[in-house]
Each structure stands twice: as structure tokens, then as C-alpha cells.
Structure 1
């Protein structure tokens, strides 16, 4: 079917792009980010644009004379149509002022050709005889995502280019006006100093036993990051979006969550609720509360959110609730390992930080010391391997009453509402413990310094 039609192209726009460069060489800076040589349909236009880019990279002027010399130097002048074609390009270009518009037309037709090629490759995948439908869908999705982003596959890069990118990122951190790829802050100074913020492409795992507050801390971090300007997505597999919104409101308005849920609020509370809703409604935060979904669906939704609104931080609550691809009798450990690898892959593909909550095994409660360890991550050792950062929440007051604490640790103050955040793994930095104060009635964690200030 595709062979019957000519592939989409706009030769007039292609000629106008190169003609604009010959009229005004400085216009290259306006269009260089919009198109690449391979976006041109006609080979001679592709050769001319590539030569113009070479001239620009060497800080040389771009005009008919210099372009002809550059094409001659690479033995391509005749293939590009010679001096007569360069003169033709100038004569058919109305003005160089519209170079960006011409470039966008070229980019559009290039995208359509890429889409046709993607459809062809997807059809080949569709005809393959395979039992792994999810893997097939992921392949097709990757092809389409490459069309949307213009970055089909990662390949080898020279070390020089990697260091150039590193220096650009350092400059962005030093100059907030340039910052677009900087780490997200958790909102807790001690934790941010230890981690250096939440880094893009990282998978951060927050593990705890039930009722320790892992969902609360994850959402607190999400709100803090959003208030700092990050775009945040939340996959809430355990709670509905209404429940989650109410918990966020209780924490922000600092109203007892039980009273808020029952509607037992005072007139002063009503004003705080209104003010808080006004603040929270402006945050770039998006919630998906679909209860049963697998990595294919989550990956697609995250990509769509990234393309439509941008995405910096993705919260997953929690990892063990993500559906695997296996049937009932399949190995759950193997499924969780695959889910963990997929979450890490998603962090890299979208250049975001993925913070996922994780359950811990019952072994924590059976030990004399209840402090979590990396081996306590439930269902898979792969989580520990894939994660860039692993943090645990540990609260002694969940295991001892005040009387039991006196017998267990005489002379030491009872750690009421004190939560130890144990950074047990930090791939690119130190590990340590920090303390936060858990306001259980408000469903929020605060820094110890903030609590002592009140």
C-alpha cells in the first residue's frame, strides 16, 4: 500500500531552507535545533545543508562562494547540482526571515516519513510468531516513542561528548536560569545534602514495613518537589485519588486527617482548607489511581505525561502491587525482578527520577534488632541491584511501648514519632542515617529542626 504513494516531502521548503542560509548565514542558529541533514528528502538539499552545518561548526561564513568551496572540498559539488543549483536556491527563496517556518515544514514531512517507516517495522513485528505479547507491544511502543522524541536508540558516544554534557549540567546547576536537568529536592535538608537531591535517571527505593509511613513520606517528597517547580506523576496502586488528595490536604493545611475525613472541622479550619486547596491546585502534579496495571501500561502513561506536560519525578506506590506478566503459577520473584528492571529502564528512557515504595519481608519483625537491611526487600534481590538509592524508614516506637523502652534502653529518651531514614545504598555517594519527625495525625514528616523551632 505504501509503495503506491510517493513519500511525503516538500521540495520547495527544502530549497527555501538552504536558500535562506545562503542569503543570511546567521539564520543557521535559528534552525539548527529544528532539523538535521537526514530530514531532507532530496539528496542534493541534504548535501548542501550538511555542508552549511560544517561551515557553521568551523565558524566560517555561509554564502554561495563558501558553500561551493566546501562542497568541492568533499567532492560533492557536482552531486549537489553545481553552482547553477546554488544560484537557483537563492533565486527561489522569497526571504530568509521565514527560515524557521521553512525548517518546520521540512521537519514535519521528515516525521511523516519516519512514521511510515515505523509502521512498516511494527507490521513486521506483528507478523512474528511469538507468545510474548507484552514484549511485542514494548517493541512497537519503543519504535513509536522514537518517532515522537526523535531519539530512536542509544548508541556509542565519544568520551568528549559525554564530558561536554557533564560540563553543561554543572553550568546549569551553578546558574538557576539554565537549570533544566538539575536534581529534584526532597524538601528535607539533611536528606538532600546526603543524596545531592534526587538525580535524573535514578531509581530510588523507599522500603518499610506496613504503617511506618512510606506512602506518606513518598507523597510528602512529591509535594515538596512540585512546590520547587518539578513536574510530578504519581501511580497510586493502593489508594484512590480521592483518598490521596485528602491526605495531601491534611498535611498541607495541617488539620487532623481523621477530623478532615469525617468533616469535623472548625470555621478556622475551613479557611485553611480553602487556602491550601488554592495552593495545591496550582502544583504540576498528576495522579493515576488505576489499581491493577502492569509495566506496559505504566510505561505508556508515563511517556504520554512526559510528552504532554513534562515529567521530572515519578512516584510508584508501591512496587509489589504492579502486575507481572506471568500466569498464576509463575515465579513471583522473577516477575518482581523484571518489574524492577523495567522501572529502572523507564527512569533512564524518560530521564526522570523514579521513586518507588517497596514492602519489606516479615524477617524484620522476627529479629532482635528491627532495623531493616537490604536483604529485607521483599520478593527480589534484583530490587537492591537495580536501585541507585535504597532508603528505609525505621521507627522504634512501632515496636516498643514507653514501658518496654525503659527496660530495653534505660536512660535513653523514648523516640516518640522519631523516624530514622536509613540510606542503606547510595550508588554515587555516602550512606548514612537521618532523623525526621512523623506527625501521624497530620500525615506528614518534618525535619527535626523545624519541630524544635515551634
Structure 2
């Protein structure tokens, strides 16, 4: 996703703006929302968030950018969000063997988290098999090339919305399923999800 789209989503979820209306904010947002706009931008600026949307980045490039950020903000520990696992370029060529490629990337991300002493949160795709099951709640075996990811990750979270599959129900809840937690309990947390703004809250 390009930086412009990510920024737009961050503004929508932080300010509680309807994403559809943000396509034409001058005409579709209320006067109160327009007045709130600059405060939302200010709140996001204070996070010192940096977005790198270059395609096919390598772990070495991510490490260099992280090191630069840590020099820039020496008193703040970074949190790295990576979207997504199999878009990362590996340092070696493995031909058609995706499993070896994911294994290398997964171990490199774990090493990066240890070296920089910071959380590394990486999104991963699920296999298509989840769509063909009667019960569609995801589980660890649904992660593509899951073996190394299951082994290396400290925490594995899945998101599940019943309303995504059953359009008839009026359910705005989102399940955050903690399938693996190396240093704590597993289980399911139910939160409210606003699909118009993308905001998640208790």
C-alpha cells in the first residue's frame, strides 16, 4: 500500500472520519470534522511515524533505516510494522522453494528484533484453505509456509469477523485470536470494529 493510502487510513481511524467521505473532504466532512483535522494531523506527527513504501525491501535495508531512526530519536524505542512477510526480498535466491525463503526471512526478523531490542510486527497471508472450511476462524496451520513462522514468532495473532462471512448479521465485533504467546496466555479478545473509519476499540 502506498504511503498516501496508509496516511489516509491513519487519519480516518485516529479522527473517526468515514473513509468514503475522505475522498472529497471539503464537500463531505462536517464543519466540526474539518476543525478537528489539524489536531489529528498534529497527533500523528507527534508519533514520529515513518513510512517506507518502496517495493521489495530487504532485511539489510530495513536494518539500515531502523538504525538511522534510532540515531534520530535516541530516547524512543521503535516499533516496526512490516506489510507483509513474503514481499520481503531474501538475500539469497532459492528458486521456487518458497519455504526456504520464508525460513530465512523469519529468522532474520527475529534477529533484528533481538539486536535492536524492539518489537517487530509482521503481517502474513493465510492459505486459501480457510475459505473452504465450515468454521473459518484461522489457526496457525493456515499461515502460508507456516513452519518457520510458528517456530520463530513470540506472539501470533489472527483477526476474525463473523460479519465478513455472514452479511445478514449486525455484528460489529472483531475477534483478536492469540494463538501463540511465548510469555503469556492464549485466548480470544473481542473488540469493536468500525468498518467505516477502520478504528478498533474496546
Normalization by structure 1: what TM-score? 0.42
Gaps of 5+ in 2: none
- Give the root-mean-square deviation of aligned CA atoms: 1.6
1:440 aligns with 2:200: no
Distance 1:415 1:357, change over 3 A: farther
Cα distance between partner residues in 1 of 2:112 and 2:62: 10
Q: Tell me the alpha carbon deviations over residues 155-208 of structure 1, each in whole angstroms, 9 at most, x when there is no partner.
A: xxxxxxxxxxxxxxxxxxxxxxxxxxxxxxxxxxxxxxxxxxxxxxxxxxxxxx
Distance, in Å, in 2 between the alignment partners of 1:443 and 1:401 is: 18
Higher relative contact order (CA 8 A, sep 6+): 2
Following superposition, the deviation at residue 259 of structure 1 comes to 0.8
Q: Are 1:371 and 2:126 counterparts?
A: no
Please identify which structure carries the higher helix content.
Answer: 1
Q: 1:386 aligns with which of 129, 133, 152?
A: 152
The count of aligned residue pairs is: 198
Q: Secondary structure at the match of 1:285?
A: coil
1:426 aligns with 2:181: yes
Tell whether the 8 Å contact from 1:396 to 1:415 is kept in structure 2 after alignment: no
SS of the aligned residue for 1:421 comes to strand
**How far is the alpha carbon of 1:356 from its aligned partner?**
1.1
- After superposition, residues 26-425 of structure 1 pair within 5 angstroms as 239-263=1-25, 264-310=28-74, 311-327=77-93, 329-402=95-168, 414=169, 416-425=171-180
Deviates more, 1:365-374 or 1:309-318: 309-318
Shift in Å at residue 326 of structure 1? 4.2
Q: Distance in 2 between matches of 1:325 and 1:312?
A: 24
Deviations 1:38-63 (A, max 9, x none): xxxxxxxxxxxxxxxxxxxxxxxxxx
| Structure 1: runs of 5+ lacking an equivalent | 1-238, 403-413, 448-454
| Distance apart, 1:343 and its partner CA | 0.5
> Computing the radius of gyration over CA atoms, which structure comes out larger, 1 or 2?
1
CA deviation after TM superposition for structure 1 residue 379, in Å: 2.3
- Residue 303 of structure 1 and its aligned partner are, at CA, apart by 1.9
SS at match of 2:34: helix
The question of whether the paired residues in 2 share the 8 Å contact of 1:391 and 1:422 is answered with: yes
TM-score, with normalisation over the residues of structure 2?
0.91
Deviant stretches of 4+, over 3 Å: 325-328
* CA distance 1:270–1:254, change in 2 (3 Å): same
What's the CA shift for 1:420?
0.7
**SS of the counterpart of 1:398?**
helix
